[in-house]
Copies of this chain bind each other. A is one copy, B any other.
Amino acid sequence: MREDSPPRREAGGHPAHFDPELAARELVRGAKPGDVHVRVARPGLREFRRVAPRRLVATRRAMQPRGRVGRVLGALKQALIGEPLATERLVHERLTKVKALAVLSSDALSSSAYATEEILRVLVLAGAAALSLTLPIAFAIALLLVIVATSYRQTIKAYPQGGGSYIVTKDNLGTWPSLVAGSALLIDYVLTVAVSISAGVAAITSALPELGPYAVELAVAFIVLITLVNLRGVRESGTIFALPTYLFIGMAFLMVGLGLARLATEGPADLSAAAGHLPVQEPLTLFLVLRAFASGNAALTGTEAISDGVPAFQPPEWKNARITLTWMAGILGVLFLGISVLALQFAVLPSEQETVVSQLGRLAFGGDSVPYYVFQAATMLILVLAANTSFSDFPRLSYFLARDHFLPYQFQFRGDRLAFSTGILALGLLSGLLVVAFRADTHALIPLYAVGVFVSFTLSQASMVVRWWRRREPGWQHGLPINAVGAVTTGLVAIIIAATKFEHGAWMVIVLLPILVLMLRGINAYYVGVADQLILEPTSKPRLPSPPIVVVPVQGLDRAVARTLAFARSLSERVVAVHVTDDAAAGEALRARWESWSGDVPLVILESPYRALVPPLLAYLDALQQQDPQAPITVVLSEVVPRHFWEYLLQGQVALRLKAALFFRPNTVVVDMPYHLGE
């Protein structure tokens, strides 16, 4: 306490002043600055604005971190994620269709970078001849894309406020199905990050094979970077996203165009020559074909993004969103089919060292040409953007789930930069673990992927069917069949994916999904139970059933203890100091000092023949409690706080151990009186 700020109280008497509203500054507004009384009388003037009676607004000044450690950590955090932003700066950018396509399609469009390859990888198991099935499968997937997009056009109109699968399902099918949809999406967002980053790293290592051994490190570095960027709360700024997305679209179309031109002039490569030496590892069964189809459906992931993001469009939102969705589906369909045709005609085979799309790029642009490297860079960037999309979607879905009490409420809070920090960190951590566990291998992750997406597609479309039927709004005769076809088709595909990829990894998702659903339900049950127990009748007057029994454990008699005893005496008439010791002589010596000293709190010596401190004290509290079962047992702890952190090790953790033990004792209040050394 500084000498130059004297306490404002009457001589010898009680303090005159207690103003919880910090309103006193009004009274002295005319005083000269520098006057001591002005400083004392204007508490909190710079830290708070008083906007109404008993209502204060903290200023930026109130946010200063304290202590050396706090300041260092604060500076570090600010360097990493930037200055805190006030809530009022939360703005929602409205996107033109051109920007919206860039922001919301990166996940879907980027799938074209790996979807064809995943089909080839399955078919090639049955030998070169089986590869000719690539095109029929690709067309089937393209047809599915049309069905899903048409279905979602209905959702967009029905949910202009944003029709994520969780919300739509909750609205129409109820809690359990919505939790299935939510869990499926949570899983798939994590997988989107892992798959997209792994594929993005594969685009780099295809162009620069010498980076191959560092794939996992690169992938983790990307995830850390994206996590930090999202904690900084970079808005879904269309401008930042537009460049890589349109660069990728442009380069990919160029590649397909150049490839087709070369095909027209040179004719197709001889597939059986290129692939003839491949061993037949599995017979060409319907199951294998379905598995290839299931793997290719990774192309459809991300299609739902536009219907989630309708409110971000400029008005008329739903119309613009619909147009954008159609465009996106068209671009994705053309790219995916084009790449599939080229891969087959040029007899490009999957390899461990280079992606199929990179091989096509070399063929179209020339092996070491600048356009090839630009194309690879664009592919990498759009894949990173796709991962980044999950960093908006996952935290937003976690927010909805937390708001509905299905996830810990920390997921509701916005961090310093207005982003949902908990969700962002959780996603970064989970996807990072996944990338490390799967060694950043896209092909190993793909079997886990898309199950969740198709489960949520199915539930979302089925919800729309129920909605049409219940409401029978204009156009329902047209909309219901569309969504019904969508629901049945995506449902079938979900089953195909789960069945054909089951043993290759989909089982993990199928096992995890119900566990996650039950976890969400369990969390909800806990929160509901707590709220029930804590409900307060509006008439119940707060009153202590019985004045507290106050116990002060003392290790000796010093200033800190004396101050603690004074505080304890102010709490209650029923105060006792307790000294637990294994040394009877030392105990009696303390009693002698105690009695020669002028305190008025009785001292009880508890001898502990087993030398333990906590158990005898707890047993003693129990014995006191039996004398008055209603009285809160109040334990006042005197704790010496050293000035330096390392000194804390020398101070013994008696108070800490007591606090930990007393925390779980019912009807117990712990009062902690730190005595700051050098105070």
Binding site for B on A (CB under 8 A): 1, 5-9, 14-15, 17-22, 24, 39-40, 43-44, 47-48, 51, 54-58, 60-67, 84-88, 408-410, 413-416, 523, 526-527, 529-531, 533-536, 538-544, 546-549, 557-563, 565-567, 569-571, 574, 576, 578, 582, 587, 591, 593, 596-599, 602-612, 615-616, 618-620, 622-632, 640-642, 647, 649-650, 652, 659, 661, 663-664, 666-679
Inter-subunit contact A623/B43 (CB<8 Å): yes
A415 to B611 CA separation, bound complex (whole angstroms): 7
Apart from A48-B620, A410-B652, 19 more pairs, CB < 8 Å: A1-B629, A7-B546, A14-B546, A18-B628, A21-B604, A22-B623, A22-B624, A55-B587, A57-B609, A66-B615, A86-B609, A415-B611, A416-B612, A523-B650, A527-B650, A533-B677, A534-B558, A538-B596, A542-B562
Inter-subunit contact B630/A7 (CB<8 Å): yes
Within the oligomer, what is the number of copies of this chain?
Answer: 2
B residues in contact with A671, CB < 8 Å: 669-672
Find the B residue at minimum CB distance from A88. Answer: B609
Which listed residue, B409, B566, B587, touches A544 by the CB 8 Å rule?
Answer: B566
Known A-B contacts A56-B605, A558-B535, A582-B87; the reply to A620 vs B44 at CB < 8 A is yes
Find the B residue at minimum CB distance from A25. Answer: B623
* Most chain B CB within a 10 A radius of its CB, from A54, A566, A587: A54
Inter-subunit contact B629/A5 (CB<8 Å): yes
Inter-subunit contact A62/B607 (CB<8 Å): no
Specify the main secondary structure of chain A where it touches its partner. mixed
Known A-B contacts A671-B670, A678-B533; the reply to A538 vs B597 at CB < 8 A is yes
B residues in contact with A663, CB < 8 Å: 641, 672, 674
Known A-B contacts A84-B612, A544-B570, A567-B669; the reply to A43 vs B416 at CB < 8 A is no
Which listed residue, B18, B591, B676, touches A627 by the CB 8 Å rule?
Answer: B18
A559 to B51 CA separation, bound complex (whole angstroms): 30
Which listed residue, B67, B598, B650, touches A539 by the CB 8 Å rule?
Answer: B598
A55 to B592 CA separation, bound complex (whole angstroms): 13
Inter-subunit contact A615/B65 (CB<8 Å): yes
Inter-subunit contact B670/A63 (CB<8 Å): no
Inter-subunit contact A414/B544 (CB<8 Å): no
Q: How far is the CB of A532 from chain B (nearest CB, A)?
A: 10
B residues in contact with A627, CB < 8 Å: 8, 15, 17-19, 24, 40, 43
B residues in contact with A569, CB < 8 Å: 542
Known A-B contacts A527-B650, A533-B677, A574-B18; the reply to A607 vs B57 at CB < 8 A is yes
B residues in contact with A625, CB < 8 Å: 43
B residues in contact with A61, CB < 8 Å: 619
Known A-B contacts A523-B650, A669-B671; the reply to A566 vs B543 at CB < 8 A is yes
Inter-subunit contact A542/B570 (CB<8 Å): no
B residues in contact with A43, CB < 8 Å: 622-627
Known A-B contacts A43-B623, A540-B562; the reply to A66 vs B667 at CB < 8 A is no
Inter-subunit contact B606/A20 (CB<8 Å): no
B residues in contact with A597, CB < 8 Å: 536, 538
Which listed residue, B530, B535, B562, B667, touches A640 by the CB 8 Å rule?
Answer: B530
A557 to B608 CA separation, bound complex (whole angstroms): 43
Inter-subunit contact A566/B542 (CB<8 Å): yes
A663 to B66 CA separation, bound complex (whole angstroms): 12
A668 to B639 CA separation, bound complex (whole angstroms): 12
Find the B residue at minimum CB distance from A573. Answer: B18
Q: How far is the CB of A122 from chain B (nearest CB, A)?
A: 41
Inter-subunit contact A610/B536 (CB<8 Å): no
Known A-B contacts A56-B607, A674-B663; the reply to A598 vs B541 at CB < 8 A is yes
Known A-B contacts A62-B616, A605-B54; the reply to A15 vs B47 at CB < 8 A is no
Inter-subunit contact B669/A672 (CB<8 Å): yes
Which listed residue, B48, B413, B527, B670, touches A611 by the CB 8 Å rule?
Answer: B413
Find the B residue at minimum CB distance from A591. Answer: B54
Find the B residue at minimum CB distance from A533. Answer: B677
Q: How far is the CB of A424 from chain B (nearest CB, A)?
A: 15
A623 to B533 CA separation, bound complex (whole angstroms): 35
Find the B residue at minimum CB distance from A598. Answer: B541
B residues in contact with A566, CB < 8 Å: 542-544
B residues in contact with A652, CB < 8 Å: 408-410
Which listed residue, B18, B58, B565, B574, touches A609 by the CB 8 Å rule?
Answer: B58
B residues in contact with A565, CB < 8 Å: 542
Inter-subunit contact A44/B619 (CB<8 Å): yes
Inter-subunit contact A56/B408 (CB<8 Å): no
